[in-house]
Structure 1
Amino acid sequence: MRRRPLTWLIPALATAAAVTVTVLAVPLDGGAGGGAPDDRPAPAAHGERPTGKAEPDAQDVVLAVHGGAGTALDRDKTSPEREKAYRDGLAAALRAGNKVLGKGGSSTDAVQAAVEKLEDNPLFNAGKGAVFTADAGHELDASIMRGTDLRAGAVAGVKSLRNPIAGARAVMDKSPHVLLAGEGADDFGARHGLRTVTQDYYWTQARWDALMAAKEQEKDDRARGGGNGGSDGRRTEGGRTAEGGPTADDSPAALADAQSKGTVGAVAVDRKRDLAAATSTGGMTNKLPGRVGDSPLIGSGTYAKNGTVAASATGAGEVFIRGAATSTISNLMEFKGAGVASAAYEVIVKRLPGLGGDGGVIALAPDGEFDAPHSSPGMLHGYVTKDGKIVTKIFPDETPPNT
C-alpha cells in the first residue's frame, strides 16, 4: 500500500483552543457507582504507588468497557458538556454490546460491537481520534480473543481500516494466523470487505495539539541537553495539552481530552458463560513509526479463557508486554486459585509498577464478578449488569487507584 502524502496536515497547524479533560465515574440509566465506599483508599498522588484492597467492583456484570487509563479527568475543571460526552460514549458502547447479548449473541460479537462504537467516537484514542506518530501519521492496533477455544486475531500498524477491531476479527475468523501487521493487515481487511478510510479520517484537533505539545517538549529537552529526539519512552498514550475550558464547539471531537490514555477495550460473558475480550488503540502520541504496544498482543493487552477471565488492559504498553499482564491474571486464577479481583490486583497494582509503568485492566469472571483495578490516577470505564443497569466511571473519586 502506497503511503499517502501528509499535506492535509498543514492547515491543521492553526490549532484551536487547547482543552484538558479528567476522568471520572458516574451512573447512567439509574445505575449506581457515584463514589467509592468509605473504606476504600483515597486516590494516590501522581507518581505515588497506591495501596488498597483487592475487592471486586461489581457482581452480575455481563459486559464492561474501558476508555483508557492515565492522567485523570479533574472534576472541578471538567465542563458538564465534556462529562456528558464521555459518559454517553461509554454508555453507547455498553448498549451496543449488551444489545448483542440480549438477542442471545456471543460474547465475541458483543465485545466487537462495543469496541467499534468506541473506535467511531473521536473522544477515544482508537479509530477516529487516534493519536499521531512522530511523523504525523496514524498507526492503529487491535486484538480480539474468545475464551471457548483460545482463538484470537490481531492487527498492528494499520493505516486505512476504519475499524481495526473488525480487522482483528477477520484475522481470527478468516485466516490461520493470529497477528497481521502493516500493509498486509490493511490489504487483508480490504480484501474481506472491511471499510477503509484515508488518514485524514482519524484526525482530531485534540490529538494534533497533543503532538505539537510533545514536539515542543522534545525541543525543550534538546535545548537543555537532556533529550534524544523523543525516543526515551516519555511519550504518553494520549499525550498532553494545556489546561482550558470547553470550546464553542461541543461536538465529541472538540471535547476530546488530549491527556487521557484513550485505549479502548471490552470484556463480556454470554448466556453460555463463554468469555471474550477485545482491545483497540492508536498507541502513543509521538511514537516512533512502527512501534507496537500491548493492545494487539495476546496475553499482554488482551486475553480470554473460559473458566478464568476475560481481560483488556490499558496503560504503559511496554510494561504490560514485559509483564504479560492479562495472561498472568488468568494464570493466577487457574493455577493459584485466586479470585478475579485478587489476581488483577496482584498484576496491575503489585507487579507492573515495579517494571516502571502504570495503567489498568477490566477483568470479568464467568460468574459475572468484575474488577477494574488501576495504578494510574484514573481509568475511564463502565459496565452493564444482567438486569440492564449501566454504570460509568470517569472521575478519580469514583475510581480510586487500586479499587
Structure 2
Amino acid sequence: MKLIIHGGFFSESSQSDETKFAKQKSLKNIAEKSFEFLKNHSASETVVFAVSLLEDDPLFNAGIGSQIQRDGKIRMSASLMDSATQKFSGVINIQNVKNPVLVAKALMNEDDRVLGDTGAKQYAEQHGFEDFSTEISQRRSEYEAKVKSEGKGTVGCVALDKDGRLAAATSTGGKGFELPGRISDSATVAGNFANSYCAVSCTGVGEDIVSNGTAVKIATRVTDGLSIQHAFQKTFIELKEIDGFAGAIAIDHLGNIHHQESHPTMVFASYDGNEFRIFD
C-alpha cells in the first residue's frame, strides 16, 4: 500500500514560514489519516477520502479554500479515475458545494460521468448534496486576501491499495481572478489519470498541463515500459519546451512513488506506513 498527496505550490517569496509549517502539518495529518483509511478501503475510496480532507482545509485551493473568478464567484472542478474499472468521472465549474470530489465520486455510477456548471449543481442537489453558498459567501473576502498575498494550488491524491489497484483524484478552485467559466485541467485526463500501470495527479497552470497532456502522457509511457522516473523526465522535458508550469505526483503498479515539478516548490507528502516524506 502506498499513498501520496499534493496541495499545489509554495512560494518562498510570497508565503510566510508560518504558512509553510501549517501546510506541512496539515499534509502530514491528512496523509496519515488517509493511509489508515487505505488499510480497509480501495484505492478509489481512499483518494476521494484524502481529497475531501484537503478540500475542507482553507490552506489549499479546493473546496472551502477555493479562489474567486473575475466575477466574484467560486467555480470548482474535481475528478476521479479508478484503475479497476478504467472509468473517469468529474465535475467542471460546479458552484456552491463543499466537496466537489464527492460529487465526482457519485457520478461514477452514471453513464454520463462528467458534468459541468448548472448540470453538475443540479445533479448534486438531486443526490442530497447540501448547498454551501452561505458559507462560501462569508469567507469570500478572506479568500480574496489570501489569494493576493499568498497564492494556493490544486490538491490531489494517488493511492495503491493492498489488492494492487491504483486510483487518482484531483480538485481545484481555479487560478484566481480568471475569466468566468474558465476550465482547468483537474477534471480532464491531462490533469488526473489512472490505469493498471500508473496513476497521476497534477497541479500548476491548467492550460500548460492540458497542452502537455501531462498525466496521461506519464501513465501511457509507464504502460509502454518506461520506468516511472523516465516517464516523468521525458514528459517534463516536453513541458519545458512550451515553458510550462506544473507539478505531478504518481505511483506505478510496482509501488514506486515519484513526484516532480517544473518550478519550486510543489507541496506534497507521501506515506507507505514506514517512510514519511514531505516537502521542505
TM-score by length of 2: 0.93
Q: What's the counterpart of residue 154 of structure 2?
A: 263
Contact 2:208/2:246, CA 8 A, preserved across alignment: no
Structure with the higher fraction of residues in helix conformation: 2
Q: What's the counterpart of residue 108 of structure 1?
A: 44
Cα distance, 1:206 vs. partner? 5.2
How many residues matched? 279
- Secondary structure of the 2:7 match is strand
1:268-283 equivalent positions in 2, closer than 5 A: 268-283=159-174
Matched, 1:343 2:231: yes
Cα distance, 1:209 vs. partner? 2.3
Bigger Rg, which one: 1
Contact 1:96/1:113, CA 8 A, preserved across alignment: no
Comparing 142-151 with 187-196, greater Cα deviation is found at: 187-196
- Name which of 171, 181, 185 aligns with 2:116: 181
Q: What's the counterpart of residue 252 of structure 1?
A: none
Cα distance, 1:91 vs. partner? 1.7
Return the alpha-carbon distance in structure 1 between the equivalents of residues 125 and 107 of structure 2: 12
- Secondary structure of the 2:58 match is coil
Structure with the higher fraction of residues in strand conformation: 2
Return the alpha-carbon distance in structure 1 between the equivalents of residues 35 and 53 of structure 2: 12
Q: What's the counterpart of residue 66 of structure 1?
A: 6
- Secondary structure of the 1:372 match is strand
Contact 1:122/1:204, CA 8 A, preserved across alignment: no
Matched, 1:302 2:192: yes
- Once superposed, what is the RMSD of the aligned Cα atoms? 1.9
Matched residue type, 2:12: L
Contact 1:92/1:117, CA 8 A, preserved across alignment: no
Return the alpha-carbon distance in structure 2 between the equivalents of residues 352 and 281 of structure 1: 21
- Name which of 257, 271, 276 aligns with 1:390: 276
Unmatched 5+ stretches in structure 1:
1-60, 211-238, 242-257, 396-403
Cα distance, 1:344 vs. partner? 1.5
1:2-401 equivalent positions in 2, closer than 5 A: 62-69=2-9, 72-73=11-12, 78-79=16-17, 81-103=18-40, 105-173=41-109, 175-198=110-133, 200-201=135-136, 203=139, 205=141, 207-209=143-145, 239-241=147-149, 258-260=150-152, 262-297=153-188, 299-306=189-196, 308-335=197-224, 337-347=225-235, 349-387=236-274, 389-393=275-279, 395=280
Cα distance, 1:195 vs. partner? 3.3
Return the alpha-carbon distance in structure 2 between the equivalents of residues 99 and 187 of structure 1: 34
Return the alpha-carbon distance in structure 1 between the equivalents of residues 24 and 264 of structure 2: 18
Return the alpha-carbon distance in structure 1 between the equivalents of residues 28 and 179 of structure 2: 33
Cα distance, 1:295 vs. partner? 0.3
Cα distance, 1:205–1:345 mapped onto 2, change above 3 Å? farther
Unmatched 5+ stretches in structure 2:
none
Deviation string 1:28-50 (CA, Å, 9 cap, x unpaired) is xxxxxxxxxxxxxxxxxxxxxxx
Cα distance, 1:96 vs. partner? 2.9
**Percent of pairs identical after alignment?**
28
Q: Bigger relative contact order, structure 1 or 2, given CA contacts below 8 A and separation 6+?
A: 1
Deviation string 1:77-96 (CA, Å, 9 cap, x unpaired) is 733x4333111211222123
Deviation string 1:29-76 (CA, Å, 9 cap, x unpaired) is xxxxxxxxxxxxxxxxxxxxxxxxxxxxxxxx611000003x52359x
Contact 1:137/1:199, CA 8 A, preserved across alignment: no
Contact 2:35/2:273, CA 8 A, preserved across alignment: no
TM-score by length of 1: 0.66
Contact 1:129/1:207, CA 8 A, preserved across alignment: yes
- Secondary structure of the 1:373 match is strand
Comparing 271-280 with 313-322, greater Cα deviation is found at: 313-322
